[in-house]
Amino acid sequence: MSKFSFPPWAVWLMALGLLAFIGMVAYSIRRNRGVKRTLFTFPYGLWIAVFTIIPLLLIGYYAFTDRSGAFTLDNFKTFWDSNYEMQKQLLDLGFNPLELGVARGNVNVDTLVYSLWMAFLCTAICLVLGYPAAFFMADRAFKLGSTLVILFIIPMWMNFLLRTIAWMSLLEDNGLINTLLAAIGLPKMKLMYNSQAVLLGMVYNYLPFMVFPIYNSLNKQEYRLSEAAMDLGANPRTTFMKVTLPLSLPGVVSGITMVFMPSVTTFFIPRVLGGGNTEMFGDLIERTFLMADNWNVGSALSLIMMVLIIMSLTLLRKVDPEGEGGSTI
C-alpha cells in the first residue's frame, strides 16, 4: 500500500476532472439557483471513461499492434494459423505437446470450439434441470417457494473456488464417491480429470442463474390465465404448452444468457477438475497474457471473445427485446 503512487500526469488529469466537475456545479448553481440533477451523472461518466472505455481501447490497441507497436493483423492470424510460433512458445513452457498441440490441430480454434460446446452443454443441462425446479417452486399450491429461493442463493456465498475444490474430494480416486462405491462392492470409477467433471463443476456453479429468472417470470405470471385456459377446456398439458411456457420465455432467455456468458469464459474450473485437454477459452486467454506474456495475441483472443458474446447477446435480445426476465434478486 505504501508503495502506491500515481504517475504525475494521472494526478493532473484527476485534479482537472474534479475541477471541471466543481466548476460545472458552481455554474449551474448560479444559473438555476440549484444543482442540476443531470450533473450527478458526471462523476460516473468520468469513472466509466477511465475504467471501462480506456481499458477497452487498450485491448483494441494491443490486439492490432505487434511488440514494437506497429500495426499488424498477425495476432488474429495466430488464432487461425495452426503452425504458428506462439504454439511452440506455449509448448516450450512445459505444456505436454501430446495433450495440447499435437493431439489437436490448432490449439486456439479447438479451444474456442471446445469452450462453445461445453458452454452449450452446460446451458442445456441447466435448462433441463432448472426449468422443472423453477416450475415446481412457482406452483401456487407450493408455499415454500420464496424460502427455496433463499436456499438456492445461500450456496453461492461459499467461495466459488472452495466449492469447486470441494468437488475434488468427492470425485477423487480415493474420494467419497469411490469410497462409497467400494463399500458396496462396486469397482472404482475414474471421475476426475475429464470433460464430464468440468461440466459437472460448471452446472453446479451456474444452475442458480438459470433457476432465478425462470422462477421470477413464472411467479409474476397471471395465474388466472392458466386457470382460464383450463376452464375453456384445455388439459394441463395444453395449458402448459400454449400458455405457461410461452409466457415464461423471457425468463428462459435471460437464464440462458446468464448461464451461457460466464460458461464460455469459465476460468479455473477446468484447471481443478479437468485434465490436460480440457482447457477452455478463459484459461487460454489468462495463460497467453500471464505465462506466455504475449499481450498482443492475448488481446486479440479477448476481442474475438467479446465479439462472439456481443453477437450471441444481440441474437438473444431479438427473442426478448424488453430484457424482461432480467431482474434476478
Partner 1 sequence: MSRLIKRGYLALVLLFLYVPIVVLIVQSFNAGVSRAKWQGFSIKWYIDLFNSPAIMNALYITVTIALLSALFATILGTLAAIGIHAMQKRQQSLMMALNNIPMTMPDIVTGISLMLLFIFTQVPRGYVTMLLAHITFNIPYVILSVMPKLKQMNKFSYEAALDLGATPGYALRKVILPYVMPGVITGALLSFTLSLDDFTISYFTTSPLVQNLSTLIYSEARKGIKPTMNALSALMFVALLVLLLAVNRRASLNQDN
Helix (H, G, I), strand (E, B) or coil at 65: strand
> DSSP readout, 71-133?
B-SHHHHHHH-TT-HHHHHHHHTT--TTTTTTTSS-HHHHHHHHHHHHHHHHHHHHHHHHHHH
For residue 210, what are the CA distances in angstroms to 107, 135, 192? Answer: 31, 12, 25
Q: Is 42 near partner 1 (CB under 8 A)?
A: yes
Q: Which residues pair with 65 in a beta bridge?
A: 71
Out of 27, 52, 98, 319, the only residue in the binding site for partner 1 (CB under 8 A) is: 52
Q: Is 83 near partner 1 (CB under 8 A)?
A: no
For residue 5, what are the CA distances in angstroms to 2, 11, 54, 108? Answer: 8, 9, 20, 38
Stretch that binds partner 1, among 92-100, 227-235, 240-248, 305-313 (CB under 8 A): 305-313
Q: Is 26 near partner 1 (CB under 8 A)?
A: no
Q: Is 175 near partner 1 (CB under 8 A)?
A: yes
Residues in contact with partner 1, counted by CB under 8 A, come to a total of 91
Q: Please, which of residues 274-303 interact with partner 1 by CB under 8 A?
A: 282, 285-286, 289, 295, 298-299, 302
Q: Is 159 near partner 1 (CB under 8 A)?
A: yes
Judge residue 19's burial from the number of C-beta atoms within 10 Å of its C-beta, 0-12 exposed, 13-18 middle, 19 or more buried.
exposed
Out of 30, 31, 44, 68, the only residue in the binding site for partner 1 (CB under 8 A) is: 44
Closest CA to 204 of 266, 115, 252, 285: 266
Q: Please, which of residues 129-158 interact with partner 1 by CB under 8 A?
A: 129, 132-133, 136-137, 139, 141-142, 148, 150-152, 154-158
Tell me whether residue 113 or residue 313 sits nearer to partner 1 (CB atom): 313
86 and 109 in contact (C-beta within 8 Å)? no
Q: Is 329 near partner 1 (CB under 8 A)?
A: yes
Out of 204, 206, 209, 212, the only residue in the binding site for partner 1 (CB under 8 A) is: 204
Q: Is 76 near partner 1 (CB under 8 A)?
A: no
Q: Is 240 near partner 1 (CB under 8 A)?
A: no
